[in-house]
Every structure is written in C-alpha cells, then in structure tokens.
Amino acid sequence: MTEVKITYETLFDLLRREKTREELQELDKTFYSDVVAYMQAKQSLIDNKGSQAELFGASESEKIKLQIQNIKKIVKELYDRRVSKIMKLGMNRSKAGGGISNTVAMLPEEKAFFDETLLLLNKNREDILNQILFFEKLESRVSLKKDFVEAKKEFSKVKSASEEETNEEIDEDEGTSEEKDSKEQESDDDYDIKVSVRFKDKVPKFVGKKLETYGPFEEGDEAELPRIIAKILINKDKAEETQS
C-alpha cells in the first residue's frame, strides 16, 4: 500500500478505521517500527526542550509528554483490536478444520502470531474436544509450551508455498461481503450437514454437540453423522465415507 507518514492524526485515523470496519485493515509492513521511530523523535523533542527550559519554559515539553501518552493509548487499542480480529480468524479456521484465511492485511509479526495461535488451537481441539466426543480418557495438560513445540515441529515440515498461492488468489479476488458471510455460514452449518459413513472399528457411544446420542457402533455398521464428527472419525481411521 502507499506509504503513510506517521503522525498523531494518521494514527487516530487508523484506529478509527480499525474500530468501524469488521475486516483487518491493511497497514504498511513497517508500521510498528515506524511508530517507534515517531515516538523516539517526540521524546528527543522533550529532551531538547528540557535543556532549553529557561528560554522556552516547561509548557511545550508538557504538551509533548501528553501527546506521547495519547499516542501510546491509541497504539495499544489499535493493537488489541487487531489481535482480537486475528484470534477470531484463527478460531474460525480451527473450527472449520482447515480452509482459507485471508492473511494479506496482517503485518509480519501478526502473521507469525496467527500461525502459532492456530497451531495451539488445533492441538487443543484435537487433545480435548475430539477425546470428549469419543469418550477417550483426557490426558493431563501439563505444559502448553510442550504442546506448542510439538505442534510447531509438525508445522515446520509443511511447505508454505501452497498458502502463499492461496493468499495471492485471495488478494486478486477477495469477493463480496455477501460471499464472505456465506462462507462463514457454511462453517457454522457444518454440524447440521449429514455424511454417511461405514465404521472400520468399534466406537463406543458418544454424545454430540447438541446432546444427541450416537452409537455404540461395531465394525461394518453404517450411519449418518454430522460432517464435523464424520471428519474426526475418518481422520482417526475409525470410519470411511460412503455414498449416501
């Protein structure tokens, strides 16, 4: 995007845009380092004014100090709002079991945060939710850091080329807001879509998200299950999809 010179006014405008728009807003890739440089320049003005206080008085320095405090508040709120949007993207993607997330507007630091957050969300879903659905014994969660290291090792084995291609496709055609809403609705409705499966192993009785009971199932049994549950069974090699 076109380079924007950091000023108090532009920071306020960037925050206003982030507050009033649902999508993550695009910023210059060096935004955070630019903000640091801007605040350092402001601080140097205070230092210079301090050495010339007898000539100019303290009022100018106090005005700059107040402005720096306001800048910090703006940057903190801007950061919090962007992180909230990124977390929502990660939760939606983890909930859908994959798919596409538009990361074009993320800063490099935010993209790294998104990838790491998604790893933990997926790991947590696999270790807790999937075990609950199939009445498996929950293992004690001693260390999230250990989970993250293991997940990151797995993630590092996957090449990023396909994701970069996906981002390029999204950048070329992001689609209308109606199309985005439709995709989100498809994800929300994933539980209501039924898939026919044939069981390859014994599966004990379990309770679904809406408190409905399924099973128990024996090898060779067939059933119609919510698509999200069917995916879990297939991924665990407990079942295979059949033609309905």
CA distance 82 to 136: 37
User: Mean pLDDT throughout 101-109?
Assistant: 91
Task: Report residue 198: phi and psi, to 5°.
Answer: -115, 130
Report pLDDT digits (tens) over 187-233: 445 677 888 999 998 888 877 777 677 888 999 999 998 888 888 88
Integer-rounded Cα radius of gyration of the chain? 25
Please report the pLDDT score of residue 21 as a whole number: 96
pLDDT tens, residue by residue, 150-185: 555 554 544 343 344 434 443 444 444 455 455 545
First and final CA of the chain: distance in angstroms? 49
Which CATH architecture best describes the domain 8-186?
Up-down Bundle (1.20)
Specify whether the CB–CB gap between 201 and 219 falls below 8 A: yes
Domain with CATH 3.40.5.50 in the chain: 192-241
Residues 6+ apart with CB under 8 A from 4: 10, 28
pTM of the model: 0.57
- Residue ranges of the alpha helices (H) in the chain? 8-20, 31-51, 53-56, 59-96, 108-124, 130-133, 144-156, 161-172, 177-188, 227-235
The segment(s) of the chain belonging to CATH 1.20.58.1030 are 8-186
Q: What is the C-alpha to C-alpha distance for residues 104 and 31, in angstroms, rounded to an integer?
A: 15
What does the angle CA 234 – CA 170 – CA 111 come to, to the nearest 5 degrees?
Answer: 80
Class of domain 192-241: alpha beta
